Chains A and B, each alone.
Chain A
Amino acid sequence: MRVSARSTQMIAKIVIWSAALLVIVLLLAIMIYILLKGVPTLNWQFLSEIPRDMGRSGGILSTVVGTLLVTAVAIVVATPLGVGTAFYLTEYTREGRVTRIIRFSAESLAGIPSIVYGLFGFIFFVIYLKLGWSILSGGLTLAVMILPTIIRTSEEAIRTVPSLYREVSFSLGGTKWQTITRAVIPSALPGIAIGIILGIGRCVAETAAVILTAGSALRMPISLFSPARTMAVHFYILAREGISMERAYGTAAILIILILLVNVVANMLVNRFVARGR
Chain B
Amino acid sequence: MKSLKEKISESVFLLIALSALSALALITVFIFIEGVPIIAKVGVVNFVFGMKWAPSQGAFGIFPMIIGSVSVTLGAAVLGVPVALCCSIFLAEFAPATLSNLVRPAIQLLAGIPSVVYGFWGLVFIVPAIRNYLGGPGLSILAGSVILAIMILPTVISISEVSLLALPRLYKEGAFALGATHWQTIRSVLMPAAKSGIVAAIILGIGRAIGETMAVIMVLGNAVALPQSILDPARTLTTNIGIEMGYASGEHQEALFATGIVLLIIIMILNAIAQYAARRR
The reply to whether the CB of B170 lies closer than 8 angstroms to some CB of chain A is no
CB-based contact A252/B20 at 8 Å? no
The reply to whether the CB of B171 lies closer than 8 angstroms to some CB of chain A is no
CB-based contact A20/B256 at 8 Å? no
CB-based contact B87/A144 at 8 Å? no
CB-based contact B212/A113 at 8 Å? yes
Q: Closest residue to A180 on the B side, CB-wise?
A: B9
Q: A122-B245, A147-B23 are in contact. Are A113 and B263 (CB under 8 A)?
A: yes
Q: Which residues of B contact A120 (CB under 8 A)?
A: 26-27, 30-31
Q: CA A87 – CA B117 in complex, angstroms? A: 36
Q: Which residues of B contact A101 (CB under 8 A)?
A: 21
Q: Which residues of B contact A206 (CB under 8 A)?
A: 114
CB-based contact B181/A6 at 8 Å? yes
Q: CA A12 – CA B20 in complex, angstroms? A: 43
Q: A16-B89, A116-B260 are in contact. Are A109 and B267 (CB under 8 A)?
A: no
Residue of B6, B13, B117 most packed against chain A (CB within 10 A): B117
The reply to whether the CB of A207 lies closer than 8 angstroms to some CB of chain B is yes
Q: Which residues of B contact A19 (CB under 8 A)?
A: 82-83, 86-87, 90
The reply to whether the CB of B141 lies closer than 8 angstroms to some CB of chain A is no
Looking at the complex, which one of B6, B91, B106, B114 makes contact with A27 (CB distance below 8 Å)?
B106
Interface flags for A13-39 (1: CB within 8 Å of B; 0: not) read: 101110110111011011101100000
**Interface footprint category on B:** 35 or more
Nearest chain A CB to B270 CB, angstrom units = 7
Nearest chain A CB to B71 CB, angstrom units = 17
Q: Which residues of A contact B108 (CB under 8 A)?
A: 263, 266-267
B residues sitting closer than 8 Å to A (CB atoms) are 3, 5-6, 9-10, 12-14, 16-21, 23-24, 26-27, 30-31, 34, 82-83, 86-87, 89-91, 94-95, 103, 105-110, 112-118, 120-121, 123-125, 150, 153, 157, 180-184, 186-187, 204, 207, 210-214, 217-218, 238, 241-242, 245-246, 256-257, 260, 263-264, 267-268, 270-271, 274-275
26 contacts between A and B (CB under 8 A): A8-B184, A9-B182, A13-B94, A16-B87, A17-B94, A20-B86, A23-B87, A23-B153, A23-B157, A33-B121, A98-B14, A107-B271, A111-B204, A112-B211, A120-B30, A123-B31, A123-B257, A128-B30, A144-B23, A177-B5, A208-B214, A232-B116, A239-B123, A239-B218, A259-B114, A262-B112
